[in-house]
Every structure is written in structure tokens, then in C-alpha cells.
Amino acid sequence: MSLSVQFYTMLAMIAMGSFFGGTLDTYNRFLQRRKRKRWVVFVHDVLFWLCQSLLLFYVLFLVNAGEVRFYIFIALLCGFAAYQALFKNGYLKLLEWCIQAARRIGRFTAGMFRLLVFRPAKGFVLLLFALFLGAGRLLYTIVKMMVKMVIWILKTGLKPFSVLGVFLWRINPLRASFERFFKKTAGLWKTIQNKFIKLKNRIGRFFKR
């Protein structure tokens, strides 16, 4: 490995150490360990360290074809220490500002969506529903009035015929015969019912003995 490659490797590892410090603070800020369950924290930690290791090896592979030397770990520690001493406070303030700005932008976007999209759409749907409901009520009222009008016309038009029919029935010589027939039929049916009731009572008394 040439001196230039070693120099670039040192610079890359120092940068990766500082980058690791920033990603670690970012990860802890979003993870919020105290609010998470232990198994959730464990899974996230494993994934975080795995991603960091893969990224570190990828950068090392690009710089010196993946050769591992002892000074690489020293460079990582130097970069991490430099981040902790020089950049951590400023980065945390910047990170918190970005988070708050993202929250404000999200709330503003949600409010604008409710104001410009959701509420007009809701009002439009309610208006359509009210129009359909009003049209249905109007149609029901019209149909009801038409039915009443047709019934009134039929009653008015058929009233003379009903009067004529009653008059013809009264003067019909066969009316008395029909009345006697219906009376006899009603009497016969009543007699059959009485006999059936008597038979039922006798059978009931027989089984009660």
C-alpha cells in the first residue's frame, strides 16, 4: 500500500468516525430508548451496527480495496473524538431545528390539506347528499299527489256507476234468491262448525277418562 493510499485511508476513516458519531446521535434521538420495549431496542441496535459496519467496509473497499490495518481503528477513534469535541453540540442543535421545522411543515401541510382539499370535498359530498335527498322528497311528494289525484278521479268517475249498480241490484228480481242462498250457505257452514266443535269436545272428554 502506497503512502498516498494510506493517507487517503486515514482521512476517510477520520471522516467515517465523525460520520459515525453524527449517525449515532441521530439514531438515539429518533429511537427514544426509554419509550421503547427492550426487544425493539435490541433489534434496532443490531440493524444499526450492521448498517454501520457494511458502510465502513464499503468505504474502506473504495479507498484501499478493503485492507484492514491497525491505524484504521485509531483514525476512527480520532474522527469520533473530533466529532464529540467540536461538532456534537452544533449538530444536535441543527438536528433539533430540522426536526422542529419538519414538524411545523407537516402540521402546515396537514392544515392546508384539510382547508383546501378535505373540507371542500366534505362540503361537496354533503351538498350532493342534500340535493339527492331533496330531490327524493320532492319526487315522493309529486307521486303522492298524483296517486291521490288518480284515486279522486276514479272515485268521482265511478260514483255514478256505483249508484247505478246499487239501484239495479235493488230492483233486480234475483236479489231475494241470492240473499236466501247466502243465508242458507252461512247457516250450513255454522252447523258444520258446531258439529266439529262437539266432536272435538267428545274426543277430548274420552281421552281424559
- Tens-digit pLDDT profile for residues 155-170: 777 777 666 666 655 6
Q: What percent of the chain has pLDDT over 70?
A: 85
Determine the 3-state secondary structure of 209 from DSSP. Answer: coil
Task: Provide the whole-model pTM.
Answer: 0.53
Looking at the chain, the whole-number percentage of residues with pLDDT higher than 90 is 14
Per-residue pLDDT, 209 = 57
pLDDT at 174: 55
**Separation between Cα atoms, residue 204 and residue 19, nearest integer Å:** 103
In terms of Cβ atoms closer than 10 Å to its own Cβ (0-12, 13-18, 19+), residue 13 is: buried
Average confidence score pLDDT of the chain: 82
Residues recorded for the chain: 209
- Least-confidence region, from 48-52, 125-129, 154-158, 190-194: 154-158
Q: What is the structure's pLDDT at 169?
A: 56
Question: Coil, strand, or helix at residue 154?
Answer: helix
| Mean pLDDT value of segment 14-37 | 85
Higher-pLDDT residue of 182 and 102 is 102
Phi/psi-derived region of residue 80, left when phi > 0, alpha when psi is between -120 and 50, beta in every other case: alpha
Nearest-angstrom CA–CA distance, 117 and 138: 31
Q: How many CB atoms lie within 10 A of CB 59?
A: 17
- The pLDDT assigned to 162 comes to 67
> DSSP label at 67?
-
- The answer, yes or no, to whether residue 196 has pLDDT greater than 70, is yes
What CA–CA distance (Å, rounded) separates 123 from 115?
Answer: 11
Average pLDDT over residues 169-175: 57
User: What's the pLDDT score for residue 164?
Assistant: 64
Q: Which residue do the cell numbers 330531490 mark?
A: 135
Q: Comparing 172 with 131, which gets the higher pLDDT?
A: 131
Does residue 205 register a pLDDT over 90? no
Sign (positive or negative) of CA dihedral 135, 138, 142, 147: positive
Task: Quote the cell numbers at residue 95.
Answer: 438536528
| Burial tier of 83 (Cβ tally within 10 Å: 0-12, 13-18, 19+) | buried
Measured between alpha carbons, how far is 115 from 186 in angstroms, rounded to an integer? Answer: 78
What confidence score (pLDDT) does residue 180 get? 66
Query: Does pLDDT of 125 surpass 80?
Result: yes
